[in-house]
A = this chain, B = another copy of it.
Amino acid sequence: MSEKNYTLKEAMLYSQRIAQLAKALWKAVEKDWQLWIKPYDLNINEHHILWISYHLKGASISDVAKFGVMHVSTAFNFSKKLEERGLLTFSKRDDDKRNTYVELTPQGESLLLDMIANYHDTPHSVIEGSLPIKELYGRFPDFMEVMAVIRNIYGEDFMEIFEHSFKNIDQRFDQVEEKLNLQKMPLE
């Protein structure tokens, strides 16, 4: 065993902390997510692929796999199913013949918009559980420590897609709101 910058006890305490927190948080996210997508006959991987394609405005299968934290074969197989349902299209790019790209069809986009419009029809325990922090600090938590750990594990590429998807929501949400005509919601 090589010299470590931490003791075995520190490793055990920290492993225990991060494993418990990551499992509990993911299980809560997963449950909310499943309830949200249930009426649309999608599983989490399928919805995640649609969501990534939407926010990256056309993504390669390998980007979908990387950012969706799924195997490339999983990303490909579920994308195929979404294509068969008319929600996605596959394409090649002239400047990149090796990768397969996926893009939402108008039908796929309208499904996602519908899901956004119905977001509040199901409970979101993670949002509810974060509201006391929002009340205290004026905004939802940003989990900088988790981001730093994930940056170190998954690399800069992952974080770039991560930031890109936020920018996209941020910039395009006015359009989304127009399309949804959600006058009843207290939107900014």
* Chain A residues at the B interface, C-beta cutoff of 8 Å: 1-29, 33, 51, 55, 67-69, 116, 119-120, 124-135, 140-143, 145-154, 158, 162, 165-166, 169-170, 173, 177, 182, 184-188
Contact = CB atoms under 8 A, between A and B. Distances in A.
Given A8-B187, A25-B22, A146-B25, A166 B17 contact: yes
Contacts of A14: 127, 130, 140
Contacts of A128: 152-153
A158 B25 CA distance: 12
Query: Which of the listed residues A23, A173, A185 has the most CB atoms from chain B within 10 Å of its own CB?
Result: A23
B133 A149 contact: yes
Contacts of A186: 3-4, 7
Query: Which of the listed residues A134, A149, A153 has the most CB atoms from chain B within 10 Å of its own CB?
Result: A149
In the A-B complex, list the 9 residue pairs whose CB atoms are closest, starting with the nearest. A129-B152, A26-B26, A141-B145, A129-B153, A14-B140, A22-B25, A22-B26, A22-B29, A9-B173
23 contacts: A1-B185, A3-B186, A5-B131, A5-B135, A6-B134, A7-B187, A8-B185, A10-B188, A11-B127, A13-B140, A13-B169, A17-B166, A20-B165, A22-B25, A22-B29, A23-B68, A26-B26, A125-B153, A129-B150, A129-B152, A141-B145, A142-B145, A145-B145
